[in-house]
Amino acid sequence: MSQAATEPIHVTDSDHFEKLIADNDVVLVDYYADWCGPCKMLAPTVEELAAESDAAVLKVDIDELQELASEKGIRSVPTIEFYHNGEAADRVVGVQDKADLQAALDELRA
């Protein structure tokens, strides 16, 4: 298990994404776009989770990585995906409460 970063990891391409999913037990993926108001509202929460949690927190810019977003079936942003041991575990759409996101991460570790 790799040491989780204390800030979100900006995904650069599909290979980078797959490696991060494979290398970390618990992963939160924030699919966002720079033009998305709700994404901007969610960003500080995602940054706090990255700093406070041992989960890997990934940021995927859907405009920059359209193919990856399309592969993952992302139709609206923000979308948060959770992975556990390399497998997609859960997905929520829209601005989320930090406590709910933390609870989802805790559940994956249980």
In a domain, 75, yes or no: yes
Q: Could you tell me if residue 33 is inside a domain? A: yes
The total number of structural domains that make up the chain: 1
Answer whether residue 89 is part of any domain: yes
Indicate which residue of 36, 43, 92, 93 is catalytic. Answer: 36
Quick: pLDDT tens for 42-99.
999 999 999 999 999 999 999 999 999 999 999 999 999 999 999 999 999 999 999 9
pLDDT score recorded for residue 2? 47
Question: If we measure between CA atoms, which residue out of 11, 12, 34, 4 comes closest to residue 81?
Answer: 11
Instruction: Verify whether residue 41 is a known catalytic residue.
Output: no
Q: Is the pLDDT of residue 108 over 70?
A: yes
Domain that holds residue 83: 9-109
Catalytic residue chosen out of the listed positions 29, 39, 46, 60: 39
Residue 3 belongs to a domain = no
In-domain check, residue 60: yes
Q: Which CATH number does the domain housing residue 54 bear?
A: 3.40.30.10
Q: Is 36 annotated in the active site?
A: yes
Residue 11 clears pLDDT 90, i.e. is over it: yes
User: Would residue 1 count as lying in a domain?
Assistant: no
Which residues lie below 8 Å from residue 50, measured CB to CB, with a gap of 6+? 4, 5, 6, 7, 8, 57
